[in-house]
Chain A
Amino acid sequence: MAAHVTPPSTYYKIFATLVALTIVTVIVAFFDLGRLNTVVALGIAVFKASLVLLYFMHLRHSERLTALVIGASFFWLAILMVHTLMDYVSRQWIPVPGK
């Protein structure tokens, strides 16, 4: 078997971090940081997701192809988002008719 065996202690550490981050993100949400709220919430979410990917899903010890596959999925998600939002963001740019 090529699979790497992660010791349970790592899993527990990751679990503890995830729990802590969940608590942090809930607490932060109750403070008004303006636009930063979303940034922080998503930042923490991305971090948590990366931990799950890297350790629970063993990405750290997987071959390069796996990372490539995951990278591709997020890259394409970004295409979907960015190109659609490009439309919504720029719809108002055309000057008001008649003015």
Chain B
Amino acid sequence: MPERLFRFIPDQASTLAPAVDNLYFFLVALSAFFSILIAGLLIYFAVKFRRRPEHAIADEHGVVRGGQDPEHGAHGPALALEIAWTVIPLVIVLGIFFWSNRLFFLISRPPADAMEVFVVGKQWMWKVQHPEGQREINQLHVPVGRPVRLTMSSEDVIHSFFMPAFRVKMDVLPGRYTTAWFQATRPGTYPLYCAEYCGTLHSGMIGQIVVMHPDAYQAWLEGAPSGGQTLASAGEGLFKSFGCAACHLTDSPRGPRLAGAYGKPVSLEGGASAVADEGYLRESILNPQAKIVAGYPPIMPTFQGQVTEEQLIQLIAYVKSLGAEEGGAARSAQGASELRKD
């Protein structure tokens, strides 16, 4: 982008950016219109109807006799005016409402084919993990032209992952996952900020988003430090070392088979049901007693305090990969409630 002396909008580097800016420009125009209208009328009336000597008005001592009929309970033209300036703004704001919330829905629903990146915020840095195992700190490398979905969590307080060039921001909370997505349209380096106040170095919790051509990205992936393991394979290692495999890997009756569980509904003890999204998997590991799968005893120990946020991400990546490998069909056909019978 050519450097400009004075800018009014940040770089437009995602598919969302122009859509958001259009709404912004519309609102700027609308605001300008109403501000100028109000200011103009005020000035015009103030000048035109400024106090003149011929106005017979109460004197300094304010002896006020015989009032003019105050406009209580408007009727006629006055009422028409009142209705007009109630209804016209109402129509306008409803328009803005529909426009902006369509956009919001777009921003809130990542496309299904998005590539996944995991983000962990902690005071005061961003830790990023790519599915192929690459890790970075305060940097995020992404390819241009592909939707990217961020799954984010915090180790301590609330942070917020803010990429102004993409017009995307999402709070990063402790204890649960939040998601954000974008599709970069222009290679370059863009700022990354923490937007939720999080303590001393809140303003230092910044970084860069590096958008690359797909081949450059591929090259970067190969060069970046990954410890030689993808997230899922790291998760597999943990699955074994934490002893999850003992209950979950074989078709042992001790715990439910996890293959294909991701994204499917689970029936719970007590009749409720839940969807096995990332948040559910997370809770199942950290707080297994909170939601018990129907038909199983509540014997799974909690791993709270034993697994770090990053290990959790690896475990979940592994559980999700189990579904992908085995097609997931087996489990979904049989359904969680079926499990109870065998």
Contacts and interface: CB of A to CB of B under 8 A. Distances in A.
The answer to A–B direct touch (Cβ < 8 A) is yes
A99 to B, nearest CB: 4
A97 interface: yes
A95 interface: yes
Contacts of A95: 109
Interface residues of B, number: 16
B110 A97 contact: yes
A98 B274 CA distance: 17
B153 to A, nearest CB: 14
Nearest to B149: A97
Contacts of A97: 110, 112, 114, 149, 151, 179, 277-278
Interface string B98-110: 0000000000111
Interface in A49-80: none
B116 interface: yes
B174 interface: no
B275 A96 contact: yes
Interface string A19-34: 0000000000000000
A42 B278 CA distance: 35
Contact of B116 (A94, A98, A99): A98
Given A96-B275, A97-B112, A98-B149, 17 more contacts: A92-B274, A92-B275, A94-B108, A95-B109, A96-B262, A96-B263, A96-B276, A96-B278, A97-B110, A97-B149, A97-B151, A97-B179, A98-B112, A98-B114, A98-B116, A99-B112, A99-B263
Interface of B: 108-110, 112, 114, 116, 149, 151, 179, 262-263, 274-278
The 3 closest A-B pairs by CB, nearest first: A99-B263, A96-B277, A96-B263
